[in-house]
Amino acid sequence: MRKGMCMDLLKSAVQKMLEGQELLEVDPDTGMVIIPNGALGPLTDGIPLERILNTEEDLLGFYTPMASPGTITLCSQNLRAFFWHLVFQLSNNRRLPIMKADLASVADLVVSKTYHHEYFHFFCDIQRKLFPGSEYDFQIEEALAVAHSYACISRGRDNKSTKFGRMGNVIYPALMVEAFKYNSAGYRDWILYSDDIRFDAGLYNYISPPNSGLLQSNGINVSVLLRAQLDKIYSFGVLHSLI
Ligand SMILES: [Zn+2]
């Protein structure tokens, strides 16, 4: 699932997010991490979790549509704030056993989730260039982008040789619930597309290529065509930036 993703971008983003670990308390016996009183502010640069959850734009990353090549930008300060809020949620609020060694995987999941989301916007941009009748709809596109990102991480989880596949059975589901909480319109509707069948139908209806009805009635599975593109395009023709 990492094939084609820009590994340098992801690695730099993860490194930035992990800064500030000297502020943590680590239980010497268990290795469990606790964020001490007063440390959450500096770790998150004072950015409240609500700001990230309630926003109507992509604060963790964004996609700039093509005139020249499209660009996926990851926003390191907001990603870092989101990451430490998630760690706080799991370690301090829910008292789950987060070990220091888990932090890199949690950071990796947050960055990957954002990358896949922005990549989906890039994919839709390509579709609109291919099929000029295909119209942008903010809410549907955000919901599908979140669902795509969730599916990509879940597929990584199914493979035991990946970081997500090796994550603990307590941490992983708790982290996915926290990381995919969305309050704002569009984003929160991702659950409508949370399995392959509903995602494929949603993608088909959203992109709605011209003549898809005719193709479909002649036995061409247009959803599968779209899915094949979505899974294949990854590394081609998009620029990356970390701010
Ligand atoms: Zn988005």
In this structure, are residues 33 and 103 in contact, taking their beta carbons and an 8 Å threshold?
Answer: yes
* Category of 211 on φ-ψ map: left (φ > 0), alpha (ψ -120 to 50) or beta: left
Helices (H), 54-136: 76-88, 103-130
Bridge partners for 33 per DSSP:
26
Predicted confidence at residue 164, as pLDDT, reads 86
Q: Which of 142, 9, 150 is nearest to 71 (CA)?
A: 9
pLDDT for the residue 4:
53
> From the centroid of its chain, how far is CA 243?
17
Model pTM score: 0.91
SS3 category, 99: strand
Is residue 66 within 8 Å of 129, Cβ to Cβ?
A: yes
According to the model, what pLDDT value does residue 159 have? 85
What's the 118 CA to ligand 1 centre distance in angstroms? 6
Ligand 1 center–CA 177 separation, angstroms? 18
Torsions phi, psi for 5 (to 5 deg): -75, 155
Neighbour tally for 227: CB within 10 Å: 16
Distance CA 66, CA 145 (A): 18
Q: What is the pLDDT of residue 56?
A: 63
Under 8 Å between Cβ of 134 and 123? no
CA of 144 to the centre of ligand 1 (A): 9
Ligand 1 centre from 92 Cα, in Å? Answer: 29
pLDDT at 57: 66
Pairing of strands 238-242, 70-74: parallel
CB atoms within 10 A of CB 195: 10
Radius of gyration of the chain measured on its C-alpha atoms: 19
pLDDT given at position 1: 38
Where exactly are the structural domains of the chain?
7-242
In the prediction, which pLDDT does 184 show? 87
Find the 57 Cα to ligand 1 centroid distance in Å. 7
| Cα 61 to averaged position of ligand 1 atoms, centre (Å) | 8
> How many whole angstroms from 62 Cα to the centroid of ligand 1?
7
Mean pLDDT by 10 residues, the chain (243 residues): 67 91 90 91 92 79 91 93 94 89 92 94 94 92 96 90 85 93 91 95 94 92 93 84 91
Q: How far is the CA of 206 from the centre of ligand 1 (A)?
A: 15
| pLDDT at position 168 | 85
> For residue range 79-90, what is the model confidence (pLDDT) as tens digits?
999 999 999 999
pLDDT at 54: 78
42: CA distance to ligand 1 center in Å? 27
